[in-house]
Chains A and B, each alone.
Chain A
Amino acid sequence: MDRAIAIQVSHLTKTYDGQPAVSDLSFQVYSGEIFGLLGPNGAGKSTTLRTLITLLTPTSGTASVLGHDTVREADVVRQLIGYVPQERAIDRFLTGREHLELLGALYHLPKAEATKRIAELLKLVELEEPADRPAKTYSGGMKRKLDIACGLLPDPKILFLDEPTLGLDVQSRLRIWDYVRMLKARGMTIVMTTNYLDEADQLCDRLAIIDGGKIKTLGSPAELKVGLGGDIVSLTLKDRSKIPTLVSALTGQPAMRAVKATPGGLDIRVESPEKALPAILEFANRLDCHLEFIEYHRPRLDDVFIAHTGRSMTESVQDIQVV
Chain B
Amino acid sequence: MAQYWQEIHALTMRWVRRLSREKFSMLFTLVQPMLFWLIFFGNLFQRAADVQVTQAPNYISFLTAGVVVMTVLNNGLAGGVDLLFDKENGFLERLMTTPIHRSSVILSRFIFVMTITSLQVLVILGVAFLFGVQPATGLLGVAAILMIGMLFGVGLTAISMAMAFSVKSHGDFFSVLGFLSLPMIFLSSALVPLVAMPAWMGFLARFNPMTWAIDAVRPLILSGWAEALPHVGMVVVVMVIFDALCLYGSAKAFRRAMG
Contacts and interface: CB of A to CB of B under 8 A. Distances in A.
Contact of A85 (B3, B10, B94, B100): B94
Contacts of A55: 93, 96-97, 259
B98 A78 contact: yes
B18 to A, nearest CB: 5
Interface string B147-171: 0000000000000000000000000
Given A53-B97, A93-B18, A134-B21, A105 B90 contact: no
Contacts of A108: 3, 6-7, 99
B29 to A, nearest CB: 15
A89 B89 contact: yes
Interface residues of B, number: 24
Contact of A107 (B11, B22, B86, B99): B99
B99 A105 contact: no
A83 B259 contact: no
Given A85-B90, A106-B7, A91 B97 contact: no
Most-contacted residue by chain B among A79, A101, A102 (CB, 10 A): A102
A88 interface: yes
Chief secondary structure at chain A's binding surface: loop
A83 B97 contact: yes
A9 B146 CA distance: 53
A90 interface: yes
Nearest to A106: B98
Contacts of B89: 87-90
Interface string B173-198: 00000000000000000000000000
Given A54-B259, A105-B6, A105-B7, A78 B97 contact: yes
A89 B91 contact: yes
Given A85-B94, A89-B94, A75 B11 contact: no
Contacts of B31: none
Contact of A106 (B17, B86, B93, B100): B100
A134 B23 CA distance: 14
A102 B10 contact: yes
A55 B14 CA distance: 23
Interface in B66-110: 86, 89-91, 93-100
Contacts of B90: 85-89
Interface string A101-132: 11101111000000000000000000000000
Given A57-B259, A102-B10, A106-B100, A89 B93 contact: yes
Interface residues of A, number: 31
Contacts of A57: 259
B6 A90 contact: no
Contacts of B18: 91, 93-94
A53 B90 CA distance: 14
Given A78-B97, A89-B91, A89-B93, A105 B10 contact: yes
A56 B3 contact: no
Interface string A188-204: 00000000000000000
Contact of B259 (A56, A90, A93, A106): A56
Contact of B91 (A78, A90, A154): A90
A98 interface: yes
Interface string A61-104: 00000000000001100110101011111110110001001110
Given A90-B89, A91-B18, A106-B100, A150 B7 contact: no
B94 A150 contact: yes
B252 interface: no
Contacts of B11: 102, 106
B96 A105 contact: no
Contacts of B97: 53-55, 78, 81, 83
Interface of B: 3, 6-7, 9-11, 14, 17-18, 21-22, 86, 89-91, 93-100, 259
Interface of A: 53-57, 74-75, 78-79, 81, 83, 85-91, 93-94, 98, 101-103, 105-108, 134, 150, 154
21 contacts: A55-B96, A56-B259, A74-B259, A78-B99, A86-B90, A87-B89, A87-B90, A89-B91, A93-B18, A94-B17, A94-B18, A94-B21, A98-B14, A101-B10, A105-B9, A106-B10, A106-B98, A106-B99, A107-B99, A108-B6, A150-B94
Q: Which 7 A-B pairs have the closest CB atoms?
A: A105-B10, A89-B90, A87-B90, A78-B99, A93-B21, A106-B98, A83-B97
Given A54-B97, A89-B94, A107-B99, 18 more contacts: A54-B259, A55-B97, A56-B259, A74-B259, A78-B97, A85-B93, A86-B90, A87-B89, A90-B89, A91-B14, A94-B17, A94-B18, A98-B17, A105-B9, A106-B100, A107-B98, A108-B7, A108-B99
